[in-house]
Amino acid sequence: MSQESVAYLTPTSRRQRAVSALHRLWQDKVAFFAAVFLLIVIFSTLAAPWISPHDPAVGKIGNRLKPPAWMEGGDPNYLLGTDQQGRDVLSRIIWGGRVSLTVGFVVVGLAGAFGTLVGLISGYFGRWVDLLIMRIVDVQSSFPGLLVALTFVMVLGPGQWNLIAALTFNGWMIHARMARSQVLSMRETTMVESARAIGCTTSQTLFGHILPNIISPLITTYVLEMAHMIGAEATMSFLGYGIQPPQASWGLMIGEGRVYITNAWWLVTFPGLAVALTILSLNLVGNWVRTEFDPLHRSRH
């Protein structure tokens, strides 16, 4: 660790820095494979129309619940087997990734940005601003999320984007609380006081000094929330308020497949693996990005 950081402290160009970062990625085998996996997932969801072997929405009812190709009774045409409607599981995973990843990224992007901003403001200004914001957070987080989400879908109608709206509306509070609690413990430190003393503007203090110092737990929260949101999409879709079949999403596949858990394990296992591996890779790559590019971490090397 220390040898690396010596080399790192004297970067001569941005290019060199990028090269050495990638080099370290290659050395960190786990992070490397995670990055590769993530690239494959992103590529395959983007290229879904060209690479998916079957139409994800069309199946023959006579073909239902065929096991994966390598098992007895499997059909080589359906590598990962077929689902309860006779549709190809692999194709649905490829297409479903589009929906699940969009939901995860967009919800955490929106809710995270909004929540963090609100939390920063609340924690930094304190007093009535804090009071008002935190009461709103309290009201919303004391409320069964399911009921709120349901109301959204009732008013807006079911579908991917309305689901995103509902989950964002339900998901920002945790980021606000997280940011606020971190700001509270930062606010009175010498660093912030000196930033104020040398005449930094509020936004400079907030985003230039406070945010970078509290970003680490926040990033962790984003990744955890991403996992949570993909799961929430599953629950919502299963209850009928989310993704509408024949469209596919990983969550919907798990939710719908769970009833066949004892006779057709492949219905839940493969989308479940897809979710788990994606989140895991995301986090590992996230860690690597954080250590490489976060000023705080960099200085520690």
Partner 1 sequence: MKVWSRVIALLLAVVLGISLAGCSSGQKPAEKPAEKQPEAPKVKDSITIALQGEPTSLDPQFPDDGNMRAVTDNVFEGLLELDGQTLKPKPALATEYKVVNPTTWEFKLRSGVKFHNGETLTADDVVFSVTRIIDPKFKSQIAGNFSSIKTAKKVDDSTVQIITNGPDPAMPVRLTLLKIMNKKHVESVGDKVTTQPVGTGPYKVTEWNRGVHILVERFDQYWGNKPSIPKAKYRFIQEGSTRLSALKAGEIDLAVNLLPEYAKEVPQVATAEGLEFPFIRLNHFKGIMANKLMRLAVNYAIDKEAIAKNLFGGYATVAQGQLFKPGYVGFNPNLKPYPYDPEKAKELIKQAGYKGEKIQLIAERGRYLKDGEFAEAISMMLRDVGLNVELKYYDWQEWLKTLFNRERAPDMMYSSHGNEMFDADRTFSSLVHSKGPMSSYNSAEVDKKIDQARTEMDPAKRQKLYEEIGQMIYDDPAFICVVNLKDIYGLSKDLQWKPRQDSRITLYEMKLAGQ
Partner 2 sequence: MLRYVFTRLIYTVVVILGVSLLVFVITHVIGNPVNVMLPLQASEEERAQLKHQLGLDKPLSTQLKEFLAGMVRLDFGKSWWQQEPALQLALRRVPATFQLVIMAFTVAALISIPLGIIAAYRPGSIIDRFLTTTSLVGVCLPSFWVGLLLVITFAVKLGWFATSGYGTYRHIVLPVVTLAILPAGHMAQIMRFSMLDQLNQQYVTTARAKGLDEATVVFKHALKNAATAVLTMGGMDLGRMLAGETAAVEMVYAWPGFGSLILETIARQDFPLLQASVFVVAVIICLINLAVDLSYGLFDPRIRY
- Residues in contact with partner 1 by CB under 8 A are 58-59, 61-62, 64-65, 84-85, 150, 153-154, 158, 239-241, 244-246, 256, 258-264
Q: Which amino acid is at 21?
A: A
Is 279 among the residues that bind partner 2 (CB under 8 A)? yes
> Any residues with CB less than 8 A from the CB of 72 and at least 6 apart, and which?
none
If the CB atoms of residues 77 and 151 are measured against partner 2, the closer one turns out to be 151
Please answer whether residues 93 and 271 qualify as being in contact, where contact means their C-beta atoms are separated by less than 8 angstroms: yes
By CB under 8 A, residue 216 contacts partner 2: yes
Query: For residues 208 and 200, is the Cβ–Cβ distance under 8 A?
Result: yes
CB of 208 to partner 1, least distance (A): 31
Query: How far is Cα 158 from Cα 161, in angstroms, rounded to an integer?
Result: 8
* x/- map, 114-143, partner 2, by CB under 8 A: -----------------x---x--xx-xxx
CB of 254 to partner 2, least distance (A): 6
Q: How many residues bind partner 2 (CB under 8 A)?
A: 59
Contact pick of 275, 285, 288, 292 for partner 2 (by CB under 8 A): 275
12 belongs to the binding site for partner 2 (CB under 8 A): no
Instruction: Write down the least CB distance from residue 136 to partner 2, Å.
Output: 8
Among 120, 165, 174, 195, binds partner 2 (CB under 8 A): 174
Q: Which of 218, 193, 172 is nearest to 124 (CA)?
A: 193
CA terminus-to-terminus distance, the chain: 7
CB 173, CB 115: distance < 8 Å: yes
Provide the residue type at 90 as one letter: L
Residues 6+ apart with CB under 8 A from 157: none
Q: How far is the CB of 66 from partner 2 (least distance, A)?
A: 21
Task: Kindly state the smallest distance separating residue 5's Cβ from partner 1, in Å.
Answer: 39
Rounded CA-CA distance 216/290 in Å is: 8
The only residue of 65, 146, 200, 289 in contact with partner 2, by rule CB under 8 A = 146
